[in-house]
Amino acid sequence: MRRVAVTGLGFITALGQEPKPFFESLMAGRAGIKRISADFVDSLSVKIAAEVSFDPLQHFSKKQLNIYDRTTQLSLIAASYAWKDSGIELLEFEKELAGVYFGTGLGGGHAINDLYFNLYKKEASRVSPLFVTKIMCNSSASHISTKFGFAGPCVTYSNACSSSALAIGEAYRQIQYGFTDVMLAGGAESVITYGSCKAWESLGVLAKEDTENPAASCRPFSKDRTGMTLGEGSGVVVLEEMERAKKRGATIYAELAGYGSTADAHHITSPSPDGQARAINQALREASINADGIDYINAHGTATIANDIAETQAIKKAFGAYAYKVPISSSKSMIGHLLGAAGAVEFAIALLAIKNKAVPPTANLRQSDPECDLDYVPNEGRAGINVRTIMANSFAFGGTNAVLVARAV
Q: Which is catalytic among the residues 110, 137, 218, 337?
A: 337
Tens of pLDDT, residue by residue over 310-346, are 999 999 999 999 999 999 999 999 999 999 999 999 9
Domain boundary among 226, 247, 268: 247
Phi, psi of 188 (to 5 degrees): -150, 155
Same domain, 268 and 321: yes
Tens of pLDDT, residue by residue over 139-193, are 999 999 999 999 999 999 999 999 999 999 999 999 999 999 999 999 999 999 9
Residue 285 domain flag:
yes
Residue 310 domain flag:
yes
Residue 318 domain flag:
yes
Same domain, 199 and 279: no
Residue 99 domain flag:
yes
Closest CA to 333 of 3, 94, 15, 109: 15
CA–CA distance, 101 with 138 (Å, rounded to integer): 10
Residue 253 domain flag:
no
Same domain, 304 and 213: no
Residue 118 domain flag:
yes
Same domain, 327 and 237: no
Same domain, 301 and 363: yes
Residue 68 domain flag:
yes
Q: Are 191 and 111 in contact (CB under 8 A)?
A: no
Residue 372 domain flag:
yes
Domain boundary among 247, 271, 292: 247
Task: Please report, for the domain that includes residue 284, its CATH number.
Answer: 3.40.47.10
pLDDT at 116 (0 to 100): 94
Our answer to whether residue 161 is catalytic in this structure is yes
How many CA atoms lie within 13 Å of 212's alpha carbon, on the beta-carbon side? 1
Domain boundary among 219, 247, 275: 247
Tens of pLDDT, residue by residue over 52-69, are 999 999 999 999 999 999
Same domain, 270 and 243: no
Same domain, 236 and 274: no
Q: Which is catalytic among the residues 137, 143, 161, 218?
A: 161
Tens of pLDDT, residue by residue over 343-402, are 999 999 999 999 999 999 999 999 999 999 999 999 999 999 999 999 999 999 999 999
Same domain, 236 and 370: no
Q: Report long-range pairs for 81-84 (Cβ below 8 Å, ≥24 apart).
A: 81/9, 81/10, 81/11, 81/12, 81/17, 81/236, 82/8, 82/9, 82/10, 82/184, 82/186, 82/236, 82/237, 82/238, 83/8, 83/10, 83/148, 83/184, 83/238, 84/8, 84/10
Mean of pLDDT over the chain: 97
How many CA atoms lie within 13 Å of 350's alpha carbon, on the beta-carbon side? 37
Same domain, 205 and 272: no
Tens of pLDDT, residue by residue over 198-247, are 999 999 999 999 999 999 999 999 999 999 999 999 999 999 999 999 99
pLDDT bracket for residue 30 (50, 70, 90): very high
Give the mean pLDDT of 35-49.
Answer: 97
CA–CA distance, 158 with 378 (Å, rounded to integer): 32
Domain count, the chain: 2
Length of the chain: 409
Our answer to whether residue 337 is catalytic in this structure is yes
Same domain, 127 and 267: no
pLDDT at 291 (0 to 100): 95
pLDDT at 115 (0 to 100): 94
Same domain, 130 and 57: yes
Closest CA to 160 of 63, 300, 254, 330: 300
Same domain, 166 and 266: no
Residue 296: give the domain boundaries. Answer: 258-407
Per cent of the chain over pLDDT 90 is 99
pLDDT at 372 (0 to 100): 98
